Amino acid sequence: MSAKNEKLLSTLKLQPVVPVLIIEDAESAVPLAKALVAGGLKAIEITLRTDAALEAVRRVAAEVEGAVVGAGTILNPAHFDAAVKAGSQFIVSPGTTRELIHAARGSDIPLLPGAATASEVMQLREEGYQILKFFPAEQAGGAAYLKSLSSPLAGTMFCPTGGISLKNAKDYLSLPNIVCVGGSWVAPKEMVVAGDWAGITKLAAEAAALAG
């Protein structure tokens, strides 16, 4: 396994659930990240879906002890470069393009590229990727689909994201080819807006306990 694959695997193995965050206000980023870390979720994905996202990554990277912050919804090399400059320690994409693979090849920061079909997985394996994001997980076939890939595509590990909740996370985590799952349920928008950091820490702790 390459050094970047090893680095990514060690990050994703920190916990069973990686929070997938859409942050509207950068001011909430640090207390939100601290609440998640306090609950046992150290690796955090902040998606580049808002104007506040890069500033949120910067603040969490600089101010939250114990957090391993990554950037998600990376669609092109410009996104990749901006996220790395902001302090992202891993990069997540919903799918993959040649341009994005090329950008990742020239960086020390590991990419978790998205795939939804066996062909996409095979193409990424040829590029040296052993850990992939499976997205959108529930809509693309769910745990049953990933289970069916475990034998013919042995050696590839997945972090499924999309439609996953506390109710179905164990269906995925019980599979041999799953390293963790991504989920937004640990930081509901209404709790973030209300500043209910204790409530989010409780949700994070419930998610972290799925490892058992």
Q: What per-residue confidence (pLDDT) applies to 184?
A: 97
Q: What per-residue confidence (pLDDT) applies to 55?
A: 98
List Cα–Cα distances, 23 to 15, 31, 64, 119, 193, in angstroms: 21, 12, 16, 33, 10
- Number of domains making up the chain: 1
Q: What per-residue confidence (pLDDT) applies to 40?
A: 98
- Whether residue 212 is predicted with pLDDT greater than 80 in this model: the reply is no
- Residue 161's domain comprises 3-205
In a domain, 164, yes or no: yes
Query: What CA–CA distance (Å, rounded) separates 187 from 196?
Result: 10
In a domain, 150, yes or no: yes
What positions carry a catalytic annotation? 45, 133
In a domain, 211, yes or no: no
The contacts found for 54-58 with CB under 8 angstroms, 24 or more apart, are 54/82, 54/83, 54/86, 55/26, 55/29, 55/86, 56/21, 56/23, 56/26, 56/29, 57/29, 57/83, 57/86, 57/87, 57/88, 58/86, 58/87
Question: Which residue has 């040829």 as its token pair?
Answer: 126
In a domain, 152, yes or no: yes
Mean pLDDT, residues 42-68 = 98
Q: What per-residue confidence (pLDDT) applies to 211?
A: 86
Tokens of 140: 């693309």
In a domain, 210, yes or no: no
User: Taking the complete model, does pTM exceed 0.85, yes or no?
Assistant: yes
Mean pLDDT, residues 27-44 = 98
Q: What per-residue confidence (pLDDT) applies to 2?
A: 87
Q: Can you give the CATH number for the domain in which 120 is found?
A: 3.20.20.70
State what percent of residues in the chain have pLDDT above 70: 100
Query: What CA–CA distance (Å, rounded) separates 59 from 173?
Result: 31
Give 133-185 pLDDT, tens digit per residue: 999 999 999 999 999 999 999 999 999 999 999 999 999 999 999 999 999 99
Give 67-113 pLDDT, tens digit per residue: 999 999 999 999 999 999 999 999 999 999 999 999 999 999 999 99
The overall average pLDDT reported for the chain is: 97
Q: What per-residue confidence (pLDDT) applies to 1?
A: 80
In a domain, 99, yes or no: yes
In a domain, 46, yes or no: yes
In a domain, 40, yes or no: yes
- Whether residue 52 is predicted with pLDDT greater than 80 in this model: the reply is yes
